[in-house]
Amino acid sequence: GEATIGVIGLAVMGSNLARNLASREGNTVAVFNRTTAKTDALVEEHPEAGFVAAETIDDFVASLATPRTAIIMVQAGAGTDAVIEQLAERFEEGDIIVDGGNADFHDTIRREEELRERGLHFVGCGISGGEEGALNGPSLMPGGSKEAWEALAPALRSIAAVAQDEPCVTHVGSDGAGHFVKMVHNGIEYADMQLIAESYDLLRRIGGHDPASLADVYAEWNGGDLESYLIEITAEVLRQDDAETGGPLVDVILDRAGSKGTGVWTVQNALGLGVPATAIGEAVFARALSCSAEHRDAVRSTFSDRPDVPTAPDGFEDDVRAALYASKVVAYAQGFDLIRAGAEEHGWDIDLGAIARIWRGGCIIRARFLDRIAEAYDDDPSLVTLLAHPYFAEAVRDGEAAWRRVVALAVTAGVPAPAFGSALASYDALASERLPAALIQAQRDFFGAHTYRRTDRDGVFHTLWSGDRSEVAAD
């Protein structure tokens, strides 16, 4: 075969990725789709790509130069397993199968092991940036073996987004590391979007702004520390009028936010790993709440007396900006904490600074902020958490008073700001000298003899709660 790389699955993501590959020097791209009509349409619409079109899976495999490399872009789950099996039956030792879909990283770990035993390389590769990224440059998060990475690197580097002259791709770690990191990326994206949405709600309901003036506020914020793709598109969304009503588009969009599952996965894994990724959790729950129409109707009609909304104090916009930034620091710190915990659990050697760098371009959470995160981890690779790094500590201290004012006002006004509030609570808990966990542990000892440790000496203890209440050594 003559093709240097192949793409299977030519829905929107696969077609765009194939076109991206074809547009770069050195790649000849074979394409295949279960339904041939899609292959034909793609090849017809893009003669410039010089695609090698295959009608059958056998033709596709035959069209690839050895060692073969194929990227799968089909529906995650059973479809991906089916396509992997079709390829694996035909591929030979040393060939590489890449899954670019949104796979559950546990599936990726399983698939990598199965294929390794059959002499094949399997690379689960997180791809961020949606359709646009796939076409013009995504952020790429490949896992799998070092050998496979070395073989794939030139093609992946050729198509990745570029940030500060560096391609947004790095070998994340072995087997499922890439899909794990992609999952956490999406979780952070949920938190970031929720925080922006809360800032919008506060500025609108307390600050008295309309969407058009808010578009200006976000556009201005985009010139500072908060500069990011999500802030930029927020300004654009708020500036958009609806053709039918002539009013702001945001006002005619039903207030229910959907999701496709990676946010839920992130929180499930955070729970399993014992990482308090509370901002991501609040974001996932807030979307679920928005979709609970029945509950919203029932409670809204029960409580029609809502608190009076106070007038915004002077400097409210600046306060909200500071609160947003501080909350964002906490949310990202939690996300990176989760990656570190996942790496420890699964034996991945993940360079957190490199992850921040490959997220600077191509993906949805791309932002100036990620440079600071990369610098913090480069500065101190063993940094326990971003919040403890001097740069972020100073940012949080600078915004702290404003953050408290905003959360207090939100509570008083009855404007829900769960991610702002829980990010602040997370910071306060971590910074506290003592936590009420001591009381919880005593309660546990009371009803379940779960024992406790003491602050003043080593050992494990139990109080005879139902006896004479003396303390006994329990270890």
Q: Are 147 and 119 in contact (CB under 8 A)?
A: no
Site for ligand NBP contains 101 (CB under 6 A): yes
Site for ligand NBP contains 102 (CB under 6 A): yes
Query: Which among 233, 220, 47 is positioned nearest to 132, based on CA atoms?
Result: 233
Site for ligand NBP contains 79 (CB under 6 A): yes
Which segments of 68-161 are extended strands (E)? 69-72, 96-99, 121-128, 139-142
Q: How far is the CB of 168 from ligand NBP (least distance, A)?
A: 13
- Name the residue nearer to ligand NBP (CB basis): 10 or 330: 10
Q: How far is the CB of 31 from ligand NBP (least distance, A)?
A: 11
Written as six digits, the tokens of 368 are 């100036």
Which of the stretches 126-134, 165-173, 288-296, 352-360 binds ligand NBP when contact is defined by CB under 6 A? 126-134
Task: State how far the Cα of 421 lies from the Cα of 285, in Å rounded to an integer.
Answer: 14
- Name the residue nearer to ligand NBP (CB basis): 248 or 361: 361
Site for ligand NBP contains 38 (CB under 6 A): yes
If DSSP codes are grouped into helix, strand and coil, which group holds residue 368?
Answer: coil
- Site mask, ligand NBP, residues 105-124, x = CB under 6 A? --------------------
If DSSP codes are grouped into helix, strand and coil, which group holds residue 274?
Answer: coil
Show Cβ contacts of residue 471 under 8 Å, excluding neighbours closer than 6 positions: 461, 462, 463, 464
Which of the stretches 28-36, 171-179, 194-202, 366-374 binds ligand NBP when contact is defined by CB under 6 A? 28-36
Task: State how far the Cα of 387 lies from the Cα of 371, in Å rounded to an integer.
Answer: 15
Member of 43, 57, 65, 76 binding ligand NBP (CB under 6 A): 76
Site for ligand NBP contains 75 (CB under 6 A): yes
Q: What backbone torsions phi and psi does residue 367 show, to the nearest 5 degrees?
A: -170, 155
Task: State how far the Cα of 40 lies from the Cα of 260, in Å rounded to an integer.
Answer: 29
Member of 10, 53, 96, 238 binding ligand NBP (CB under 6 A): 10
Q: Are 324 and 136 in contact (CB under 8 A)?
A: no
Catalytic residue among 89, 114, 146, 189: 189
Q: Are 334 and 273 in contact (CB under 8 A)?
A: no
- Name the residue nearer to ligand NBP (CB basis): 260 or 434: 260
Site for ligand NBP contains 9 (CB under 6 A): yes
- Name the residue nearer to ligand NBP (CB basis): 98 or 152: 98
Question: How many alpha carbons fall within 13 Å on the CB side of residue 122?
Answer: 28
Which of the stretches 4-12, 20-28, 155-163, 411-419 binds ligand NBP when contact is defined by CB under 6 A? 4-12
Residue 38 known to be catalytic:
no
Written as six digits, the tokens of 137 are 């440059």
Written as six digits, the tokens of 111 are 């698939």
- Name the residue nearer to ligand NBP (CB basis): 99 or 319: 99
Q: How far is the CB of 191 from ligand NBP (least distance, A)?
A: 17
Query: Which among 133, 114, 117, 153 is positioned nearest to 73, based on CA atoms?
Result: 133
- Name the residue nearer to ligand NBP (CB basis): 107 or 282: 107
Residues of this chain, 297-326, that bind ligand NBP according to CB under 6 A: none
* Count of residues engaged in binding ligand NBP, rule: CB under 6 A: 23
Residue 112 known to be catalytic:
no
Task: State how far the Cα of 134 lies from the Cα of 120, in Å rounded to an integer.
Answer: 25
Note the residues at the interface with ligand NBP (CB under 6 A). Answer: 9-14, 33-35, 38, 73-76, 79, 82-83, 101-102, 127-130
Residues assigned a catalytic role? 182, 189
